[in-house]
Amino acid sequence: MSGFLKHKSLPLITQVVIISLVSISSFGDNLTSKWGLDWYGYYEGKNLNDRVVDPTNQIFELPYASVVSDFRPDGKFSFGSFDLRVQPRWEFTEDWIGYTDGARVSKAHGYFDFSQIYLNWTASDIFMFSFGLQNYQWGPAEMLSPSNGLIHFSTSQRSLIWVEPGHWLGRINISFGKNWSLIGIEELIDNRKPAWIAGSSFSPRGLVKFEYRTDDGTNYLGMTAGGSGDNNLQSWVGEYATYSPLESLSIYIDARQVRGSYAYYPETVGNFVQMQQSLYTSNQIYGLTETGLRYEGRVDSRIEYIQNDIGYTREDFTQAVRGASQLSPFLPTNLPKFLHPGLELYSQHYLYGSIRIPDLGKKKLYTVIARCLYSITDSSSTYSASIQRIWGDYVNLFLEASYLTGENNTELGFINEAELMAGMRLSF
């Protein structure tokens, strides 16, 4: 998105802001507000090695270096049982892009957007209503949340600077004491982000979520069911649960099941590969399941296993890369379908591990995080590590590095990328 104020949802956002502020401000002196501001300034460098898809970098124009200034205000307005949350975001980026013919260019771009803007009404101890652009998630796993079919996985979501895009949700929470809850969610308006399934258009979608928690909140069990009125979002059922047999130790699962698949798969057509929705009419039940073990003590560590029944085999992925990189009559449609196939992850089996160590050093100013995702299907992997240091009352310095490795025809290896990011966060 180029241009500092270009966003198709802005007229609607403006209406929500004005109506909400006017409504709440009418309460006069009883209105309370609180503002905060985070500013991120950082440098990001990438080693873009040989790529199978778009080797010349003429299509994606991926930068080898970027400098980013990112302002993130956070406003909270309250009166009685009403609460308004406003989180605008303004980002300016200078990119340096290189091509295989030796050309180098720099491009500056910026945008204004809202991460969240929503109004909550706590009608009683039983009923709560919410509407607006919001990021509402749940689930015990760190890598994915399969039981939530409205929000999908992003390869950048574990970065220190990542912000999950909000969704235009209408939500009602019904609480039956502190143990039971029933939540209904409807996504009514498109948030204008790229489609999860290439070529699909937005249509209203929704889900219901039923949850039980123990009195101390340590153990819980939930079930979900959702879908859409047309073919742009597959219906699903989901489950999630956490059980703590010992203090600081928990076992958890998050899963969903679908009938058939709307995802794109590579199919041979003559001498070419075409991405097709091959399992669209299948009656077979497919699951996406993440199970894990977490220890929360001096160190927060976990290990997770992911089984993705509708993912690609190694041969499937090799064929998909071929369809997205070789000249053919299907290349213009294959490429977007390969990039947005309707899969949370491309392959079928993964291991994921992470460790977080806070309060390091004599003054407890450092935090170190390390993560690894390993594809059992094709033996490719991605590694990332970060270190943060508190500096005074307002400054947090950070350094983050990642590396993807594997053979050229593997899910993580075909990207063949190393990345380094260094910067600071100012918080007021």
Share of the chain above pLDDT 90, in %: 64
Helices (H) and strands (E) in the chain, counts: 3, 20
Question: Taking CA 96 as the corner, what is the angle to CA 92 and CA 102, rounded to the nearest 5 degrees?
Answer: 165
Compute the distance between CA of residue 364 and CA of residue 386 in angstroms, rounded to an integer.
Answer: 16
The CA–CA distances, whole Å, from 264 to 103, 151, 261 equal 35, 19, 8
Mean pLDDT calculated for residue range 237-254: 96
Phi, psi of 166 (to 5 degrees): -75, 165
Q: Which residue has the higher pLDDT, 4 or 45?
A: 45
Question: 412 and 31 in contact (C-beta within 8 Å)?
Answer: no
Please report which confidence band the pLDDT of residue 47 belongs to, taking 50, 70 and 90 as the band edges. Answer: confident
| Mean pLDDT within 333-346 | 92
- pTM score of the predicted model: 0.87
Measure the CA–CA gap between 77 and 33, rounded to whole angstroms. 4
Helix (H) or strand (E) holding 110: strand 104-122
Confidence label for 231 from pLDDT (cuts 50, 70 and 90): low
Encoded tokens for 408: 């050229």
| Listed range (20-34, 48-62, 91-105, 129-143) with the worst mean pLDDT | 20-34
In this predicted structure, which of 190-199, 201-210, 349-358 has the lowest mean pLDDT?
Answer: 190-199
Q: What is the pLDDT of residue 4?
A: 34
Give yes or no for residue 208 having a pLDDT over 60. Answer: yes
| Of the candidate ranges 144-153, 235-244, 296-305, the one whose mean pLDDT is the lowest | 144-153
- Residue range 10-427 forms a domain whose CATH class is mainly beta
CA–centroid distance for 381 within its chain: 19
The DSSP letter of residue 123 is -
Query: Region 251-279: what's the mean pLDDT?
Result: 93
3-state secondary structure of 338: helix
Query: How large is the angle between the packed helices 331-339 and 314-325, nearest 10 degrees?
Result: 130
Say whether pLDDT at 189 is over 90: no
**Tokens 């859409």, residue located:** 228
